[in-house]
Amino acid sequence: MKNVYKGWDLPQIVFSLMFITLMIVACFWVVQPFVLGFAWASMVVIATWPLMIKIQNWLWGRRSLAVIAMTLILLLLFIIPIAVLVNSLIENSGPVIAWATSGHLKLPDMGWLNSIPLVGKKLASFYHNLVQGGGGAMMAKVQPYIGRTSGFLFAQAGNFGRFMVHLALMLLFSVLLYWRGEQVGHGIRHFAYRMASQSGDAVVLLAGQAIRAVALGVVVTALVQGVLGGIGLAISGIPYATVLTVLMIFSCLVQLGPLVVLIPAVIWLYWSGDTTWGSVLVIWSCVVGMLDSVLRPMLIRMGADLPMILILSGVIGGLIAFGMIGLFIGPVVLAVAYRLVSLWIQETPAPDEDSQKASEELAEFKQEI
């Protein structure tokens, strides 16, 4: 039987789209438990691929030895420290929150304010008037919210097992991607080329550069600042230094900086009367706080030649929109969009720099109309 009609077959198009959509949804449904682990593994492998190639060259060109070495590096420098820090945060937050919700939380006396030259007496008087006028009532209002926070943190403790599963999946997918990285990369580039020719291939390469720039410039800087700040806290005798180190690393990742944690620690040392270590921590805090202005731009330029504001906006926006994985997704999206717009603009010649000449040509064009 011949099909006489050779025009658009609308039912065929509709059913084809429905079938393709159904297959996409079904595939996503099947791989959904592995998406987060695979996404983290992709970011880690892309960011550390140059290091893996160097290690492979050192190990007589053996890919298997390089993969084993990178697996050990990920275990020792990434997975085990993160698991220990998260576990320590969950365990140590219990006593702190229990003390804060027990009713013993009171505003300190801050008698050391009187020793500040010139303005010390005025600051002490203002602080004591604030405490006497409503400090107790203010703390009474704050304590219920601390109790809610404690309930939230204890609820999150149950997610620690799920978090460890994601780390294990990330390690497994990282090993597979290290082993077959060239084939996977070539397949992704082939798909992008099929979708948008050379522009699609350029977008894939740009995405890899953006991921490497964020990993070097943002994550490495946050880890360096957090670890150095944590060392300063531990040496100065600040309690719960491990928990504060985790908070400091997270604060650096969201671009708030380490001083959010270090300044209260300095105040606590002065308030407790340990002015010597307080002064040492002040100097150390200044060094750690200024480190990102030097280290982060240098590392970002090593990863990709992209505007600093673009990377930082992508980091903050991606973190708010997608969570921790948004640290990489946000800058990649903005970097790709930025480069596509730049290429589209450069397809036409630039306008004449002489604005007066351009105004005269516009006036003549209006007169002709």
3-state secondary structure 39-75: HHHHHHHHHHHHHHHHHHHHCCCCHHHHHHHHHHHHH
pLDDT digits (tens, 9 = 90+) for 309-356: 787 788 788 878 777 677 777 877 787 788 777 777 776 777 766 667
Q: Give the lowest-confidence range in 37-41, 82-86, 99-103, 128-132.
A: 99-103
pLDDT of residue 75: 86
pLDDT at 150 over 50: no
pLDDT of residue 108: 58
Least Cα distance to 324 among 163, 195, 89, 197 occurs for: 163
Q: Give the lowest-confidence range in 10-14, 56-60, 282-286.
A: 10-14
Mean pLDDT calculated for residue range 198-204: 80
- DSSP-derived letter for residue 104 is -
| Burial (0-12, 13-18, 19+ Cβ within 10 Å), 283 | exposed
pLDDT at 109 over 90: no
- Domains of the chain, by residue range, sit at 181-346
% of the chain exceeding 90 in pLDDT: 14
19 or 145, which is more confident:
19
pLDDT at 183 over 60: yes
pLDDT of residue 12: 85
pLDDT of residue 7: 59
CA distances from 48 to 19, 23, 110, 160, 232 (A): 39, 33, 48, 26, 29
Mean pLDDT calculated for residue range 92-101: 55
pLDDT digits (tens, 9 = 90+) for 204-223: 887 888 788 777 777 888 88
pLDDT at 135 over 60: no
80 or 22, which is more confident:
22
pLDDT digits (tens, 9 = 90+) for 41-91: 888 898 889 889 999 999 988 999 999 999 998 888 777 777 776 666 666
CB distance 262 to 232 below 8 Å: yes
pLDDT of residue 195: 84
Average pLDDT of the residues of the chain: 77
Q: Give the lowest-confidence range in 51-65, 122-136, 158-172, 177-191.
A: 122-136
164 or 192, which is more confident:
192
pLDDT of residue 239: 83
pLDDT at 102 over 60: no
Indicate the angle between helix axes 136-157 and 80-100, nearest 10 degrees: 140
357 or 3, which is more confident:
357
Contacts 24+ apart (CB under 8 A), 301-305: 302/213, 302/216, 302/217, 303/209, 303/210, 303/212, 303/213, 303/214, 303/215, 303/216, 303/217, 304/206, 304/209, 304/210, 304/212, 304/213, 304/335
